[in-house]
A and B are shown apart, each in its own frame.
Chain A
Amino acid sequence: MTAVRFTNVSKRFELVHPTRRSVFGHMGSILGLGRKQTEEFWALRDISFEVDRGETIGIIGPNGSGKTTILKLLTGTLFPDEGSIESNGKVFGLLELGAGFHPDLSGRENVFLNGSFLGIGRNEMAQLYDRIVEFAELERFIDTPVKHYSSGMYMRLGFAIAIAVSPDVMVIDEVLAVGDAAFARKCYQALAEVKKSGRTMLFVSHDPIQVRRFCDRVLWIDEGRTRRIGATREVIQDYLQTTLAPVSNEVYPPGEDPVRAGQGPLTITDVYVQDASRRRSHSVIPGESVKLVIEYACKEYLDEAAFGCSIRRSDGLYIHDASSASSHGPVSVQPDGGVVECNLGPISLGPGIYHVSVGAWPLNEKSRPYHLLHDAVTLYVGKATVDQRGIAFIPNAWRFRSAMPDPAESSKPEDTLQPDMVTPGLVVPWSRAPGAIIMGEGEEEYLGEGWHPVELWPPSVRWIGRSATVFLTQDVGQGALVMSACRPFHSDVGATGHVKINGEDLATFRVNGMDFEDIVVPLDPVVKPTSLEIELRIEELFVPAVVGIDPDTRELGLAIRQIRVE
């Protein structure tokens, strides 16, 4: 059953030009008299879509593309100029949390006032009241005028009302960045429940990760027109490729633009980033080793060529510039083309989006390049640990000793950095490893984001890039490793992973949906307690690891609730 239907909807705004503004002209144009004093602006043009009951649809697009206009049309604050909008059931928009609150009234009074804006009577609201206050965590402040609330409290109350009134069609506009992380999580859970209860949601966001979490389908609008509508994964992928790396994969024909394109005879045909296992990759985690690969074709033999690459962050900050000239001098190029690899080593960039430009030029004439490709590759650098921040990733290793100087120790040469210690992690005391790691419901840890079993100390888990290592003690007579895992949030894509125990690749597993399932890996029975080093690794990670304001990589991995030996 259709919950919302937009049929050829267009919305026009009139832009009044300051020079033409006059009282009578203005009134005249509004009353439809006289000549038009204004310029038309079509905020939406010919938008058609349907949302089925119980479906969640995401609306994405750049600023000013008309996303909010769609929601306003649906909630009735705006009316379409052309086309028609049908909706079944009560529509309620979270266009702005706490819209309609009066600053001088208390939280309690505002709850009822807000309810009546939604057409909910006093008695009905009284029944929801306790739930609202409890959800908003405002028991102590509910009789304080809301003008004294912090912005977080204000939004919490607004969100709590919206969740409690549970409309048939819920419209959400960029509101989930509210409050602290704990409350944001609560909001997501509440929305997930709303979704589960079969209500229809329209969800507007700049943040593709948020959209991916919730939406069954996505409508992408651009300059008021439908750009694409379809399955979340495809539309988001397409959207990201178009908006974040506008010139990627576009090969400029040589000779057309001397600065951007170069003048031949060498043409760069492909550029990509390779991860440690020699696969093409767009998303890496700090500390992972990557290679930049440039493939080229050439019409003639060149004996003094040079290749180079530069990295910019998405905000334009120049990060790095490298050229083969400084280390290799002139490079000769065969007429049949070839491949250049630039090893960038372990990525020392902080989380963010980076654009890599590449080029080739005659050694002594950089100003007359053979070929340049600006922003040829977009690289998403994710978080190595959940709390990683900052612009760079600096390898670090820790040592602990007592305050008393040890004469034998001090005479030793300083420790050199061992390769293994470069990875972020912790040294694990083997003898104290537990028999099982069990997290409660709602306390899952995320492989792919970072692993923090805070309850367990000393920690028996460590995190390395996209794999996690768990240390467990296996008792006599037990013969299987059981792991309870699922894909976090609303990922519609499964994940494949590997289990390695004490260095031996034992099993491949596949996790499909959001429901926790037990993955069982049989172990050879052993006779005495043994420590197991269990390494879990997931294969595919292509989704931009960092997008939007709040980089979040949880989506990429697995949610794990239990690992135990039976």
Chain B
Amino acid sequence: MGSFTDLLRNMVVRDLKVRYRNSVLGFGWSLLQPLLMMLVFTVVFKVLTRTEIPNYPLFLLTGLLPWNFTHSALSTALRSVTGNAGLITKVYFPRELLPLSAVLGAFIHFVVAFALLLVGMIAFGVEFTPTILFVPVIMLLQLVLVTGLAMILAAANVLARDLEQLVDVGLLAWFFLTPIFYALAVVPNDQFLGLDVHRWVFSLNPMATLVTDFRYVALEGFLPIRHTAVTMVTAFAALAFGWWLMRRFSRRFAEIV
């Protein structure tokens, strides 16, 4: 693996270069795109639903930035193996690098776009708390989770291409199940199968935890410990399973792709 870090870097750089080649703003899009999304959501929810959440644009941004990372990493990683069939059948290199480079490319955008949040916090006069230092920890935790899922999707998509059709819908559903543009508090907290809905969302949806954590540590100065521990287990389990799946099946990729 060691001798291939250079390849990984080159692949990430390749994807970034290719993505912004022939575009006027180039890398600036990694800031502009979430900013525009934030504007759209703000207009829709502020005007149409008259949401009561304070500093709503910042609230949105803390949800949108992690979500964008997950979304773009997974949808790129999904096709990272199948889309590079030409490479896989001709050249040998560790196949894990394909989803990994997709994830890292998206992660770079995530990190850069985080600056947007800092600027927004200054603009809205939000007080900086020491817990903001934990933002990198939350980001890395999400990186672990997303890497695991990316590997699972990339490998599974080789075995059954049907996944490509499902993942778009799946990501949309996941987006709505994650408290990105709404606060969990607005969801009616009914009992369902002996547990309340909020608990279900938290225990089953690691993105819900991560987005909420991101908000807590960045905006509210609150350090969540308990449910983050659960997410950590989920994230590392996903990574382990993804890694195993890649190890197990990557030898056959060149035959199936």
Contact = CB atoms under 8 A, between A and B. Distances in A.
Contact of B249 (A23, A30, A122): A30
Contact of A116 (B6, B86, B89, B255): B6
A100 B90 contact: yes
Task: List 10 A-B pairs, minimum CB-CB distance, nearest first.
Answer: A76-B92, A99-B90, A116-B7, A79-B251, A116-B10, A77-B254, A104-B18, A95-B90, A119-B3, A116-B6
Given A104-B17, A116-B7, 16 more contacts: A23-B160, A30-B159, A30-B249, A30-B252, A75-B91, A77-B89, A77-B90, A77-B92, A99-B91, A100-B87, A102-B14, A104-B18, A105-B18, A109-B14, A121-B6, A145-B21
Contacts of B6: 116, 119, 121-122
B52 interface: no
Interface residues of A, number: 29
16 contacts: A13-B255, A72-B89, A75-B92, A77-B92, A78-B254, A78-B255, A79-B252, A102-B14, A102-B18, A104-B17, A105-B17, A109-B14, A109-B17, A113-B10, A117-B93, A121-B6
B207 interface: no
A27 B92 CA distance: 25
Interface string B132-171: 0000000000000000000000000001101000000000
Nearest to A14: B255
Interface string A64-106: 0000000010011111000000000000010110011010110
A112 B89 contact: no
Interface string A436-472: 0000000000000000000000000000000000000
Interface string B218-256: 000000000000000000000000000000010110111
Nearest to A97: B90
Contacts of B92: 75-77, 93
B8 to A, nearest CB: 9
A282 interface: no
Interface residues of B, number: 28
Interface string A147-171: 0000000000000000000000000
Nearest to B18: A104
Interface of B: 3-4, 6-7, 9-11, 14, 17-18, 21, 86-93, 159-160, 162, 249, 251-252, 254-256
A96 B7 contact: no
A206 interface: no
Contacts of B252: 30, 79
B159 A119 contact: no
Interface in A1-60: 13-14, 23, 26-27, 30
A119 B7 CA distance: 7
A104 B20 CA distance: 11
Nearest to B248: A31
A78 B89 CA distance: 8
A344 to B, nearest CB: 48
Interface of A: 13-14, 23, 26-27, 30, 72, 75-79, 93, 95-96, 99-100, 102, 104-105, 109, 112-113, 116-117, 119, 121-122, 145
Q: Which of B87, B92, B159, B160 has the most CB of A within 10 A?
A: B92
Nearest to B10: A116
Contacts of B4: 116, 119
Q: Which of B14, B86, B252, B254 has the most CB of A within 10 A?
A: B14
A113 B160 CA distance: 30
A72 B89 CA distance: 8
Contacts of A104: 17-18, 21
Contacts of B88: 77
A23 B162 contact: yes
B89 to A, nearest CB: 6
A112 B11 CA distance: 11
Contacts of A116: 4, 6-7, 9-11
Contacts of B91: 75, 77, 93, 95, 99-100, 117
A93 B90 CA distance: 8
B20 to A, nearest CB: 10
A195 B170 CA distance: 55
A30 B252 CA distance: 10
A113 B93 CA distance: 12
